[in-house]
């Protein structure tokens, strides 16, 4: 279980860091969409905690962790405030945001898988919920912003695949009873590295084999 791998204090800090970075990405999208301050906060909150809330509801961990700790709501509010006033400067460090976003992706896909398994789910189901924890907030963000979700678009670098890899490795570690801090770090690092390589080399998932459609994806 998560608390056996990391102390509660360390786990809490890691969660808050991941939440903050995901919230930044949500708030920046709201600014680009010309949303008002309420829209910025909503997109930041949904992006940051949406995946974790979805996981907790599915496994029956109610009320969800996000509703038991004000820090889970406070960090997105802080991120919204920073983006509201400093968004031109924040956008200049997009590569840094992508770096931490990839780290959060790796962290959440691993810890989400572990938490799901600790609530009695099987290996495959746990990995699926680990994936949902990592990408669920971004999926909800894009839907609210009236965009095709990034993880469904062929013209975006791989996002779900790195999370799937990290969640699958974590589930395999559980299956073969080798789950510990080192193996969990390895799963997190795998998701992180694959995501960063996808950004660096513009790796994309393949489209349908022998596709003949002339439709062209419109870049935003």
- Summarised one tens digit per residue, pLDDT across range 81-105 is 999 998 887 767 677 678 878 888 9
Percent with pLDDT over 70 in the chain: 90
Greater confidence (141 vs 10) lies with 141
208 falls in which pLDDT band (50, 70, 90)?
confident
Percent with pLDDT over 90 in the chain: 59
Domain chopping of the chain, boundaries: 2-201
The number of angstroms, rounded, from the C-alpha of 67 to the middle of its chain's C-alpha atoms is 18
pLDDT reported for residue 13: 80
58-62 contacts at long range (C-beta below 8 A, 24 or more positions apart): 58/116, 58/129, 58/132, 59/115, 59/116, 59/119, 59/120, 59/121, 59/129, 60/119, 61/115, 61/119
pLDDT reported for residue 91: 66
Of the ranges 6-10, 85-89, 153-157, which one carries the lowest mean pLDDT score?
A: 6-10
CB 125 within 8 A of CB 116: yes
Greater confidence (205 vs 50) lies with 50
1 falls in which pLDDT band (50, 70, 90)?
very low
pLDDT reported for residue 190: 97
Q: Is the pLDDT of residue 143 over 90?
A: yes
pLDDT reported for residue 12: 79
Of the ranges 89-103, 139-153, 155-169, which one carries the lowest mean pLDDT score?
A: 89-103
Q: Is the pLDDT of residue 2 over 60?
A: no
Q: What are 187's two structure tokens?
A: 């799963």
Q: Which helix (H) or strand (E) element contains residue 64?
A: none
Q: How many whole angstroms separate alpha carbon 164 and alpha carbon 170?
A: 10
């Amino acid at each position: 279980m998560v608390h056996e791998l990391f102390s509660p204090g360390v786990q809490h800090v890691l969660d808050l860091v991941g939440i903050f970075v995901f919230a930044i990405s949500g708030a920046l999208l709201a600014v680009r969409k010309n949303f008002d301050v309420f829209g910025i906060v909503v997109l930041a909150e949904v992006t940051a905690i949406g995946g974790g809330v979805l996981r907790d509801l599915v496994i029956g961990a109610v009320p969800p962790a996000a509703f038991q700790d004000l820090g889970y709501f406070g960090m997105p509010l802080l991120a919204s405030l920073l983006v509201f006033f400093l968004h031109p400067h924040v956008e200049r460090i997009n590569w840094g945001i992508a770096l931490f976003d990839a780290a959060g992706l790796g962290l959440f896909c691993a810890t989400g898988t572990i938490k799901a398994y600790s609530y009695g789910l099987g290996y495959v189901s746990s990995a699926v919920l680990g994936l949902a924890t990592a990408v669920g907030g971004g999926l909800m963000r894009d839907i609210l912003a009236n965009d095709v979700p990034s993880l469904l678009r062929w013209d975006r670098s791989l996002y779900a695949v790195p999370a799937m890899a990290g969640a699958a490795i974590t589930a395999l570690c559980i299956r073969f009873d080798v789950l510990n801090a080192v193996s969990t770090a390895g799963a997190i690092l795998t998701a992180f590295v694959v995501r960063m390589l996808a950004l660096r080399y513009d790796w994309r998932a393949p489209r349908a084999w022998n596709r003949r459609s002339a439709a062209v994806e419109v870049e935003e």
